[in-house]
Chains A and B, each alone.
Chain A
Amino acid sequence: MTDWIDIGTLADIPQRGARTVQIAGEKEIAVFRTGDDKVFALVNECPHKKGPLSQGIVHGHSVACPLHNWNIALKTGEAQGNDEGCTPTIAVKEEGGRILIARPVALKAAA
């Protein structure tokens, strides 16, 4: 069983861009919308130096971190190419035009 959080509609997120979601006591979450309108959610931290991935350039299904240009795969959170590291991903689903993300596990434990 998963708790889901409604974060808005596709139109709320710019194409090839991202928005952030702040849930009390939790790490900021970045919700991405790609050029082909797929939606992905990741913790808003690059595995390298914690750069805010939400501010990077989204290309294909990757985002380039704004701090040092690491490329992170949106689906897996894994760094691409020769870089190594992984950012936690968060499940996303669409229901009746609304975008839902899974409630982060840590928060549920704390609640």
Chain B
Amino acid sequence: MDFQNNGPATASEEEIFVPCEDVREHLVVVGNGMAGCRAVEELLARDKDRYRVTIFGAEPYVNYNRIMLSPVLAGEKSFDDIIINSREWYSENNIELIAGDPVTGIDRTAKTVTSQSGRTVGYDKLLIATGSDPFIIPVPGKDLPGVISFRDMKDVDTMLEAAGKGGSAVVIGGGLLGLEAAHGLTLRGMKVTVIHLMDTLMERQLDEAAGWLLKTALEGRGQTILTGANTEAIYGHGKVEGVRLKDGTEIPASLVVMAVGIRPSTALAREAGLDVNRGIKVDDHMVTSDPDVLAVGECVEHDGNVYGLVAPLWDMCRSLADGLTDQHTGYKGSVTSTKLKVAGLDVFSAGDFSGGEGCEDIVLRDASRGVYKRVVVKDDKIVGAVLYGDTVDGGWYFDLLKREEDVAEIRDLLIFGQAFASGGGALDPKAAVAALSDDAEICGCNGVSKGQVVACIEKGACSLDAVRGSCKASASCGSCTGLVENLLAVVLGDDVQSGPRTMCKCTSFGHDDVRREIVAQNMRSIPEVMQRLHWSTPDGCSSCRPALNYYLLCALPGEYQDDQQSRFVNERMHANIQKDGTYSVVPRMWGGLTNPTELRAIADVVEKYNAPMVKVTGGQRLDIFGIRKEDLPAVWADLNAAGMVSGHAYGKSLRTVKTCVGSEWCRFGTQDSTGLGVKIERMTWGSWMPHKFKIAASGCPRNCAEATIKDFGVVCVDSGYELHVGGNGGIHVRATDLLCKVSTEQEALDYCAAFIQLYREEARYLERTAPWIERVGVDYIKSRIVEDEAGREHLRSRFLYSQSFSQDDPWAERAAGQHAELHQHLDPIAIAAE
């Protein structure tokens, strides 16, 4: 993985300009993690030049986003994606970074720290941000190789290495971290068992009902979840071989991840003689019992509370920076909310949901959608919320909770979410975001409030990328992208600069992102995609709707219900609209072959419906022009009666298979190209594709069927069949790339099916094969179709499976009267004038 190359990032002294006579106060930060660096960022934002800064880090990397390790493990992000501050940030701000060299001692009298390598550095102010240590349960075998925690990049690497070998893994701990680790390992192909001591998963965040739903969903993904399970020992000779429970059950495993909890890392502070309870004790400005020593993050205890989540850390850093720059605001403790980062499982919890005196529960269950919502209200204020399956309103409940808003007036509608409670029908996302308070949190990963996003937009960040670059909102997991975009729209109106690669103006996601999420989250309808991916319009536009319809159709063959209203007119009417609003009709002629019955039927249709023109097409068939939409079903009935079906001349689909006469007639022909063409067309007709798709089969290298400017072309030679891909005869003529040569007709058919399926699954909507192949490279196509025999076979069988649902003649059902409303006028009744 890329992270390896990113490795030791110790900035050497030469690289950093620190003037010898720098007389500024020296701030030394112990801990290069999220809290330490964030504190420095907040400080720089207030007073860039006040302190000279040195940061010590135990890990040999620049500052990265620890809470994003789960997506790295799951393969959704790379290490590069989760870097918060690159080396440039350190050098630009004259910060000396000493990474890979942990501080081992503090001398408060001499005001120095000493590191593992023996380096001693003096300080004026010291900031301890050592975070927390994973809690290791003291069972036999806990030190065996293969037993790890889930805390840093090294752990992720160990897990990836183990997953690479396959086999089984046990995750001890069914909390947030444990479940994210289990999810990642499952995605990486391991068989995962989660052992949880309590009866309910994530019992600190979820109630029993939500925990059960979560457990059921995870089991559905192939994990084994053992609740109420007590680990007795980890066994193995020289390395871990399994876990034994108190009840005697043995679970074999080559990897054991301990994720039972964390505790503040306080050893250094304790040895230095600072006041330490559960965590390092600090006041409202994060000052410890020594006025020149501060501490921040998971290692501290404030007002009796220790926090293990990211949001409080942002609040602490703000108060700390205020204190260091002589502004006295003070930290008042944090209310926290939690979101599980497991793709496709939406779980949210906030506040206190243990119930008790004076608490009322409002509960909504929707079993068919797998939704459970519970809001706990006390004295007309929300004190807690648990959401499962539909977490859209999580932010809203959390905002109401933090602001201690009186909800008496909206109590009855509260559980249905903001859209209903605010009195609207369909929710206008812009109005919703406009209604949020300034301190409402927009980006949970980076702790950015609405007010900060708005300020950053007003300072000139006019696009999503610019916002991500300046205040970091939406720069990590991306789940708040929709909110940020709506804020851009609210603040700037039409002046928003859209990013370069989004699917359309309705979304911030690109085609590939949307497609990946549709599959990963098993989305099943257009409204679901728009909901889950934060579409900014109520029902999309004429660009995204047809694309989404296709992506869903491709992902769910036989299951997805095609949405007619998301089809372009031609695909909805199964004919080609012409400039005067009439249609042209092209029946299929297999491989360009026809016969007297078909020709008679076409001639009859032309006369019967007064078609003004009939033309031979470039794809070797006949096109009947000037048919009115009202007559289409009758025309199709007549053509069906002669045995003809739709030619899909109108669709993003297989158009024609053009052939030459081949060895049956031609004196140069080497193989039966006509017969092959017919077979290919019988196999491929009716399939929906990202764009139109043309095939040709030529019987010899003279190539009379022009196979080398088709999406897929076969050129027959004496010894077999040359297969060509990615040709185009349109605006930009492109000759095909030679894919490979095969020796039998069956192979030619198999490779064709596999290539089409690869195109169907991976090209972007409205991307022809030519630009697609130029984008991904013909070597990639070869690696998937030619070199990977098993992969080719899988592609082929997926194509054939999908075809089993798509080879119905769409004309036949219209001729039989379906969707008559698309062809008939409404029948008006004149009524008396009033």
Chain A residues proximal to chain B, CB less than 8 Å: 1-8, 12-17, 19-23, 28, 31, 35-36, 49-52, 55-60, 64, 66-67, 69, 71, 100-101, 103
Q: Are B579 and A5 in contact (CB under 8 A)?
A: no
Interface centre among B537, B568, B828 (most CB of A within 10 A): B828
Chain B residues, CB < 8 A from A16: 539, 565-566
Take A2-B834, A12-B821, A60-B537 as given contacts and tell me if A21 and B828 are in contact as well, using a CB distance cutoff of 8 Å.
yes
Q: How many residues of B contact A (CB 8 A)?
A: 33
Q: Are B542 and A56 in contact (CB under 8 A)?
A: yes
Chain A residues, CB < 8 A from B569: 55-56, 66
Q: Are B831 and A19 in contact (CB under 8 A)?
A: no
Q: Are A57 and B568 in contact (CB under 8 A)?
A: yes
Contact mask B568-587 → A, CB, 8 Å, 1/0? 11101100010101000000
Would you give the shortest CB distance from B521 to chain A, in whole angstroms? 23
Chain B residues, CB < 8 A from A36: 425-426, 538
Q: How far is the CA of A35 from the CA of B540 in the complex (A)?
A: 10
Leading 3 A-B pairs by shortest Cβ distance: A64-B542, A66-B569, A16-B565
Take A55-B573, A57-B546, A59-B545 as given contacts and tell me if A3 and B830 are in contact as well, using a CB distance cutoff of 8 Å.
yes
B470 sits at the interface (CB 8 A) = no
Q: Are B539 and A60 in contact (CB under 8 A)?
A: yes
A sample of 13 cross-chain residue pairs with beta-carbon separation below 8 angstroms, ordered by A number, consists of A1-B833, A5-B830, A6-B829, A7-B828, A16-B565, A19-B826, A20-B825, A21-B825, A49-B579, A55-B572, A57-B545, A57-B567, A59-B537
Would you give the shortest CB distance from B54 to chain A, in whole angstroms? 54
B15 sits at the interface (CB 8 A) = no
B564 sits at the interface (CB 8 A) = yes
B827 sits at the interface (CB 8 A) = yes
Nearest B residue to A68 via CB reads B579
Which of A8, A57, A59 is the one whose CB lies under 8 Å from B827? Answer: A8
Q: Are A57 and B826 in contact (CB under 8 A)?
A: no
Interface centre among B426, B542, B546, B830 (most CB of A within 10 A): B542
Chain B residues proximal to chain A, CB less than 8 Å: 425-426, 537-542, 545-546, 564-570, 572-573, 577, 579, 581, 629, 821, 825-831, 833-834
User: Could you list 8 further interchain pairs (A-B, Cβ under 8 angstroms) beyond the known A1-B834, A3-B833, A56-B569?
Assistant: A5-B829, A6-B828, A31-B826, A36-B538, A56-B542, A58-B565, A59-B542, A64-B542
Q: How far is the CA of A103 from the CA of B833 in the complex (A)?
A: 10
Chain B residues, CB < 8 A from A69: 542
Q: How far is the CA of A96 from the CA of B827 in the complex (A)?
A: 18
Nearest B residue to A63 via CB reads B542
Q: Are A4 and B540 in contact (CB under 8 A)?
A: no
Chain B residues, CB < 8 A from A5: 828-831
Would you give the shortest CB distance from A93 to chain B, in whole angstroms? 11
Take A1-B833, A16-B565, A19-B826 as given contacts and tell me if A67 and B546 are in contact as well, using a CB distance cutoff of 8 Å.
no
Chain B residues, CB < 8 A from A19: 821, 825-826
Which of A12, A14, A31, A67 is the one whose CB lies under 8 Å from B564? Answer: A14
Which of B539, B567, B826, B831 is the one whose CB lies under 8 Å from A12? Answer: B826
Chain B residues, CB < 8 A from A21: 825-826, 828
Q: Are A52 and B830 in contact (CB under 8 A)?
A: no
Q: Are B577 and A15 in contact (CB under 8 A)?
A: no
Q: How far is the CA of A45 from the CA of B685 in the complex (A)?
A: 34
Chain B residues, CB < 8 A from A1: 833-834
